[in-house]
Amino acid sequence: MSDLVDLERFHTKCRKLPLPKSLTQNPQKLSSLHDAILACIERLYRDKQKPFLGEVQKLLRAHRSITGPFTPQEVRSIAAVCASKPELFLLVPPMCGNAPCILLRKPPAGFEPWYERLPQRGFCEEEASRNLRESIASAQLATMRQVIEGLYADRIEPTLNEVQERLRQRGWSFSDAQQAVLLYACQKDIYDLSKPTLNKQIVVLLKEPPSGFLGWAEGAGIIPQASTEMEFGLKSLLAAGLAPSLHGGVAGGAEALQSCCKRSLGELRALLRVFILKGLLEYCDNELVATALLHKELDAFRQATPRTPEKKKSSGRIYSQI
């Protein structure tokens, strides 16, 4: 009963969210957005990806309808739009460390539920161990290990979503990446899987973390933090016009920033999240751009007198701080 109450409460909350005027004053644009959301969610179902809110928004930013592309405000309003069509969509609140999810009331024919649970003990685990030895090549096992070690190096908590995303980047199919948790669980001498809780999903940990590991900088349930030096360094890059385009949101923007600094990917993700929370960066389609507040700070930053007389040496040192 409590789950039903939570669903109803979340639906009511989303239904009360305001819609942009471009939708309330243009029924054709609203109808077009309904159709586009449905098409994006059906695509995720076909690709065996769970339709988390962020995944649907990512597809919408690239979607082109008969009324033209959707604005960032329209893309951000899809929870309210879906709440107005309860006969089509089921809004699921965030749980177990996962983001909100938009499900279809009537899944496509032949749909198989997403695999998100730890493997059961007993026969299933023994059978999986046999299959692991017989059908998984040593190169694939090495890839699984490299993915986890890479997340440790980037100081990003290896949650199931992060692990699956990196396996897909290395050529794994969606279905194989979905089953990766089972394969990790079979290698008990190497990995330790934490059980999912109310606010956190499965995490794949190494039994022996790499030497010199400094802890997670960015991950599920971690409040983003960044040092004053890192914030100063990013503002220096932006003020000088040397910062790369931050395409792909937080994840893509952090990868772009690695080309001009030596910080870990996790630290850079946390830095960008801090800027978003402070109202200094915002989404424009699938890119992070400076807000009016940040432009004002950058203008003051450019006019500020350097604190040290070593003006010629400052150019390289400032940017290296991030």
* Residue 258 to residue 59: CA distance in whole angstroms: 25
| pTM for this entry | 0.54
- The pLDDT assigned to 136 comes to 55
Residue 230's Cα: distance from chain center in Å? Answer: 22
Please write the tens of the pLDDT for every residue from 295-321: 888 888 888 755 554 544 444 444 445
Give the tokens for residue 3: 């789950």
pLDDT confidence band for 123 (50 / 70 / 90): very low
| Nearest by Cα to 264 from 218, 319, 195 | 218
* Residue 273 to residue 122: CA distance in whole angstroms: 42
pLDDT confidence band for 205 (50 / 70 / 90): very high
Beta strands in the chain (DSSP E): 89-92, 101-104, 191-194, 203-206, 246-247, 281-284, 287-290
Hey, what domains does the chain have and what are their CATH numbers? 2-104 (no CATH), 123-206 (1.10.10), 228-319 (1.10.10)
Residue 251's Cα: distance from chain center in Å? Answer: 7
- The pLDDT assigned to 204 comes to 92
Give the tokens for residue 18: 């305001």
* Residue 279 to residue 216: CA distance in whole angstroms: 24
Please write the tens of the pLDDT for every residue from 125-179: 455 455 544 455 566 778 889 999 999 999 998 988 889 889 988 888 777 787 7
